[in-house]
Chains A and B, each alone.
Chain A
């Protein structure tokens, strides 16, 4: 059983998103921390270090956290709530579903809870965060909103066998 939810399709589940670019040694990078490829829930915000010099702030607390960062030096923040859209796929077979569409290793060994990675899913470049919900395997996928209709179709098609 796999549950696929387009979070940004409803005002009740919409995910505010901010991108923070910060070079090594800046105050923003020190504040956000984390190792490349990992995520951590801080209050109402999921902080994701998705690239070596880029963090995503996801959730209701993201705008306030982004606004509160010290952006001195080579650092900037951009609200990406309306360019990137969020899809959550939850269930014991969520990894099997994604494995049919992408080439990353979604096993617990390589992508445990809290892991973050970029990978092509059904040909669409996605940022993926393993973000288990109440002990159930779950992935938060961020992708360009333009692809969402095709992408949801591909996900549902892949999940139909589970």
Chain B
């Protein structure tokens, strides 16, 4: 079982989350070239090593987050919510 640390919920069974693939920035469709858009849509780095990925906590807090995963060892590190620094959580308001 792969334990994925959600920034809000803590370690979760990967089966309780949705994997949304490699994280990469979308180019501006108004200014990018067709080659850049095609690369964004279809091409992936698929490295042998650390990879920044998008996950969705579908059974827990229902938040998207990014996390680094080592594609060889399965090791995971530095989960982060969009627009927040690593280690920050949402919902700590009292």
Interface residues of A (CB under 8 A from B): 24, 29, 33, 35-37, 49, 51-53, 103, 117-120, 125
Contacts and interface: CB of A to CB of B under 8 A. Distances in A.
Contact of B92 (A29, A35, A53, A119): A35
Given A52-B89, A118-B9, A120-B59, 6 more contacts: A51-B62, A51-B63, A103-B12, A103-B13, A120-B15, A125-B58
A51 B89 CA distance: 12
B94 A52 contact: no
Contacts of B63: 51-52
Given A52-B8, A103-B16, A117-B9, A24 B93 contact: yes
A118 B60 contact: yes
Interface of B: 1, 8-9, 12-13, 15-16, 58-63, 89-94
Contacts of A29: 93
Nearest to A119: B59
B60 A49 contact: no
Nearest to A30: B93
**Most interface-central of B58, B60, B89 (chain A CB within 10 A):** B60
Nearest to A123: B15
